[in-house]
């Protein structure tokens, strides 16, 4: 393991991102989302990454202006999930 990798690990462990994430996986298993390896870890990370993407897209979609050709009556807030 390189010193750069060790430094990255130390930084991640110090920042404790699992404490601030709102996804169900981070809330349930905390640090284990980062440290365990194998299929279960990959599935959990996949769910976590999908949740993070959803949250980011949801924030951007809510900020989008209505289409230029939309009439005021056509403009509605489209709920996401």
Q: For residue 49, is it within any domain?
A: yes
Q: For residue 61, is it within any domain?
A: no
Q: For residue 38, is it within any domain?
A: yes
> Could you tell me the pLDDT band of residue 80, with boundaries at 50, 70 and 90?
low
- For the chain, the first-to-last Cα distance in angstroms comes to 42
Count of domains forming the chain: 1
Instruction: Describe the chain by its helix, strand, coil percentages, rounded to 5.
Output: 65, 0, 35
Q: For residue 35, is it within any domain?
A: yes
Whole-structure pTM value: 0.46
Q: For residue 43, is it within any domain?
A: yes
Per-residue pLDDT reduced to its tens digit, 6-52: 898 899 889 998 898 888 888 888 888 777 666 666 777 788 888 88
More confident residue, 80 or 53: 53
Q: For residue 5, is it within any domain?
A: yes
Q: For residue 59, is it within any domain?
A: no
């Amino acid at each position: 393991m390189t010193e750069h990798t060790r430094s990255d690990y130390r930084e991640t462990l110090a920042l404790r991102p699992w404490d601030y994430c709102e996804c169900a996986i981070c809330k349930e298993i905390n640090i284990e989302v980062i440290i365990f390896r194998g299929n279960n870890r990959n599935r959990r990370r996949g769910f976590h990454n999908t949740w993070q993407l959803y949250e980011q897209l949801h924030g951007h979609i809510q900020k989008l202006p209505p289409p230029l050709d939309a009439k005021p009556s056509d403009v509605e807030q489209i709920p996401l999930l």
